Structures are given as C-alpha cells and as structure tokens.
Amino acid sequence: MNAQQLVDERGDLWLALAPLWLDHEPSERDYARMVDVIQRYDMSLVELEWMFRLELAPVMSRHQLSIASEWRKFDDYKLMQQLVRHNLRLKGWRRKSWALFSGLTTMMVRHRWVELMNRVKVARGET
C-alpha cells in the first residue's frame, strides 16, 4: 500500500479520531462527528480497536508526551504525514512491538475511546 492509498482509505477516519488526544474532553458534537465518520467505514469494533491501538495511538501518544506539542488543535497536514509515515512502516516486528505496548500508548485516552465505542454500538443498534 502506498501513501495515497492510506490517505484515501483511512485519512478521514484518522483525522476524525485525533481529537481524542487533545487536552479537553470531546464535546457532544465531537463524539457525534466521530460516530458519523466511523459509520462510513465497514469496520467491526475489533477492527476499530486494532486501528486505534496500532495505527493511531503510537503517533498520537507522542503528541501527548511532548511538551512542545499542539494541545488545542492539530495541524491536519502535518498529522497526516506522521500517520502515513508510521503506517507505511507498520509491518513485521514493528507491528508486533506496537501491539505489545499498545496498552501504554492508549491508556491516557482509553476512557474516551470506551465512550466513543459505546456511542458507536448505540448507533449500530448493538446495545
């Protein structure tokens, strides 16, 4: 898969979920937008979980740990470059390593993710 394919296939979803890592709790409108974007993708909850853990969290958690990072809003272009770069390299041992450490990279936003997944279940009629 090349960079353009990644952007075409996942870009909207990645950018929609990025606010989970901002310094404030997502608003009702933020959650509604995330659910709306997720609904456009044919992904199970398990697939969404692994996308969250492997494709997003390794990049986004670095923003949380960086003192110089943006906390109010992300530069979408720069963020997309970082996500694409990470995901193009996400093979073999890198994939296994991120899977192993995904609990650490997701723990600061896990409560937001759980809330979002509950809303997705309601939207899908799964509860």
Identify the pLDDT of residue 67: 53
Residue 14 pLDDT grade (very low, low, confident, very high; cuts 50, 70, 90): very high
CA dist 55 and 36 (Å) reads 20
User: Which of 5-9, 30-34, 111-115 comes out lowest in average pLDDT?
Assistant: 5-9
For residue 23, what pLDDT is reported?
A: 82
As a whole number, the mean pLDDT across the chain is: 89
- Decide if pLDDT at 115 tops 70: yes
Closest CA to 84 of 110, 58, 61, 48: 58
Q: With a cut of 80, say whether residue 63 has pLDDT above it.
A: no
Reply yes or no on whether the pLDDT at 36 is more than 90: yes
Q: Is the pLDDT of residue 66 over 80?
A: no
The residues, any chain, with a CB within 8 Å of residue 59's CB and separated by 6 or more, are 79, 82, 83, 86
Of the candidate ranges 21-25, 35-39, 62-66, 117-121, the one whose mean pLDDT is the lowest: 62-66
Q: Which long-range contacts (CB under 8 A, 24 or more apart) does 41-47 make?
A: 41/13, 45/117, 45/120, 45/121
Q: How far apart are CA 32 and CA 35, in angstroms?
A: 5
Q: How far apart are CA 65 and CA 11, in angstroms?
A: 23
What is the structure's pLDDT at 30? 96
pTM of the model: 0.87
- Is the separation of the CB atoms in 56 and 43 below 8 Å? no
